[in-house]
């Protein structure tokens, strides 16, 4: 199942009390980070929907730690299998997708990267962390003194990655070497230099510089047809799941959490 929290924009607000149709999402007094709160809210919406559909016993109860019972997890899977019908893409759809995203089907593509990581750790104040990251991005992009490597200086003093000792240098990487969130921003593009935007990953916020690129070789359609079809099915599934969860959220009474 696609993590439901990935389908909604995560804010920086931490809720002190959150409920879905009166069901608490955490223990009294517990503070949850936004991603965990939204994940629990989406999961609870699905658990309650499975009960309404008769796939889960009415006696099943949500837990304060957000861990589903085995019966609830199985019921949610059955609910989504019944509700979300994902058709196989046609040959024409696959070919159009391949033509529009040929760069995604390259092999051997490598990039040499440097980065400055602002790690998200328990208790960190996210707005302040983002402000520091944005200020650093602006600083390294606007610095034009050829005799001073501002990126290296910033990485050594600010980055929460072991690569800080090397000025943020990560060396030559393939897409498989990177977190998926980073790979999507870096691979399949032509830009070189400091990216004009922060990149958010499961580790935190990154200021990234593409130092060099080796483009790789695009695979023929016949070779990657199955991969193209799976990509289209996944996209359709995620869209359908988002729409389904939005419908459940609109019909629910939500307290302390916003899934709009």
Same domain, 122 and 175: yes
Same domain, 82 and 123: no
Q: What is the pLDDT of residue 16?
A: 54
Domain that holds residue 64: 4-88+228-255
Tell me the pLDDT band of 145, cut-offs 50, 70 and 90.
low
Same domain, 135 and 84: no
Residue 101 covered by a domain: no
Tokens of 232: 């289209």
User: What's the predicted TM-score (pTM) here?
Assistant: 0.61
Same domain, 167 and 114: yes
Report pLDDT digits (tens) over 154-206: 999 999 999 999 999 999 999 999 999 999 999 988 889 999 999 999 899 99
Same domain, 23 and 116: no
Report the alpha-carbon distance of residue 138 to residue 132 in Å, rounded.
10
Residue 67 covered by a domain: yes
Considering its fold, how many domains does the chain have in total?
A: 2
Residue 103 covered by a domain: no
Q: What is the pLDDT of residue 258?
A: 81
Residue 76 covered by a domain: yes
User: DSSP strand E in 76-133: where?
Assistant: 106-107, 110-119
Report the alpha-carbon distance of residue 76 to residue 206 in Å, rounded.
35
Q: Hey, which of 1-10, 31-40, 59-68, 131-140 has the most confident mean pLDDT?
A: 131-140
Report the alpha-carbon distance of residue 214 to residue 212 in Å, rounded.
7
- For residue 78, give the nearest of 44, 55, 59 by alpha carbon: 55
Same domain, 202 and 248: no
CATH for 113: 3.10.50.40
Same domain, 211 and 232: no
> Please, which residues bridge with residue 214 across strands?
110
């Amino acid at each position: 199942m696609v993590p439901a929290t990935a389908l909604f924009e995560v804010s920086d607000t931490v809720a002190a009390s959150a409920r879905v149709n009166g069901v608490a999402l955490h223990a009294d007094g517990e503070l949850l980070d936004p991603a965990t709160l939204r994940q629990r809210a989406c999961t609870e919406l699905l658990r309650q929907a499975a009960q309404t559909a008769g796939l889960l016993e009415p006696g099943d109860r949500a837990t304060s730690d957000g861990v589903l019972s085995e019966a609830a997890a199985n019921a949610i899977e059955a609910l989504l299998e019944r509700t979300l019908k994902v058709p196989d893409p046609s040959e024409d759809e696959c070919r159009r997708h391949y033509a529009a995203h040929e760069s995604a089907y390259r092999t051997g593509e490598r990039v040499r990267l440097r980065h400055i990581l602002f790690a998200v750790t328990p208790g960190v104040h996210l707005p302040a962390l983002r402000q520091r990251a944005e200020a650093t991005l602006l600083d390294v992009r606007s610095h034009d003194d050829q005799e001073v490597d501002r990126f290296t200086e910033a990485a050594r003093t600010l980055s929460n990655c072991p690569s800080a000792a090397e000025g943020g240098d990560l060396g030559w990487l393939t897409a498989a070497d990177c977190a998926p969130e980073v790979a999507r921003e870096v691979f399949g593009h032509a830009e070189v230099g400091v990216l004009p935007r922060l990149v958010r990953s499961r580790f935190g916020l990154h200021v990234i510089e593409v130092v060099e690129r080796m483009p790789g070789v695009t695979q023929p359609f016949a070779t990657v047809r199955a991969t193209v079809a799976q990509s289209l099915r996944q996209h359709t599934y995620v869209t359908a799941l988002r729409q389904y969860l939005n419908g459940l959220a609109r019909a629910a009474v939500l307290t302390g959490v916003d899934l709009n």
